[in-house]
Amino acid sequence: MVGEPARALGCDPMSRSEEASPEGDLAAERKLLARLRGGEEAAFAELVKRHGGRMLTVAQRMLRHHEDARDAVQEAFLSAFRALDRFEGNARLSTWLHRIVVNAALMKLRTQRRKPEASIDELLPTFLEDGHAAEPSTPWREGSDETLSRRETRDLVRRSIDRLPESYRTILILRDVEELDTEETASLLGVSVNAAKTRLHRARQALRAILDPHFRAGGPS
């Protein structure tokens, strides 16, 4: 699957922090593509330098170790080079490369998965026979999601995400951070759309449960 042409996506996941690219960028991209297809060595170096940093950022979000992220980026570029002739040009190069590096990172995760994952059942809400929650939720502090400017809050959230079993951590990142849609996420993970939805919901619930003691009103700040 790595290296297959991406569908045109509604957003450019690797350019969110930038302003909209001017049309000149598109023209420059077409020129670069033509040089790449012509086998020009300098064009390959340009592509890697232009997109490699962002691809490394994406790979590092998905993989826990820096070396794995570098390997995934290398694999992704080799897949992209092989698939250049199949790139249809209806998506931005950055969008296409984003999908390829996500796929390469997923392949890496699959080869690393050695043992069964821990259950997250204890992090999911439970209910009484009448359908009411066994432990009713209490509100979080006002502005609990506005405290991210504090480094310790970001560290807490990052550590909490890392506590999720890999398959839950991965789908949370693909859907809620990389903003892939459900169908594409399901396709990349090789599961049904319903299974992807269920897994994402459980991942969010588990992360909510891990964060709850830190953010509920009256809890530690």
Distances (CA, A) of 145 to 15, 139, 148, 212, 219: 24, 13, 7, 12, 15
179-191 in b/e burial notation, b at 16+ Cβ within 10 A? Answer: ebbeebbbebbeb
- CA distance linking residue 67 with residue 25, whole number of Å: 32
C-beta of 200: minimal distance to other proteins in Å? 6
Among 133, 183, 190, 194, binds other proteins (CB under 8 A): 133
What x/- string results for residues 159 through 198 when contact with other proteins is judged by CB under 8 A?
Answer: --x----------xx--xx-------------------x-
- CA distance linking residue 11 with residue 6, whole number of Å: 12
Among 152, 158, 213, 218, binds other proteins (CB under 8 A): 158
Among 137, 192, 194, 221, binds other proteins (CB under 8 A): 137
- Closer of 47 and 91 to other proteins (Cβ): 47
- Closer of 27 and 217 to other proteins (Cβ): 217
Write the DSSP assignment of 52-86 as a string of letters: HHHHHHHHHHH-SSHHHHHHHHHHHHHHHHHHGGG
C-beta of 113: minimal distance to other proteins in Å? 21
What x/- string results for residues 17 through 56 when contact with other proteins is judged by CB under 8 A?
Answer: x-----------------------x--xx--xx--xxxxx
- CA distance linking residue 58 with residue 62, whole number of Å: 7
- Count of residues that interact with other proteins, criterion CB under 8 A: 54
- CA distance linking residue 89 with residue 30, whole number of Å: 8
- Provide the residue type at 15 as one letter: S
**Which chain residues interact with other proteins by CB under 8 A?**
16-17, 41, 44-45, 48-49, 52-57, 60-61, 70, 73-74, 77-78, 81, 125, 127, 130-133, 136-140, 144-145, 148, 154, 157-158, 161, 172-173, 176-177, 197, 200-201, 204-205, 207-208, 211-212, 215-216
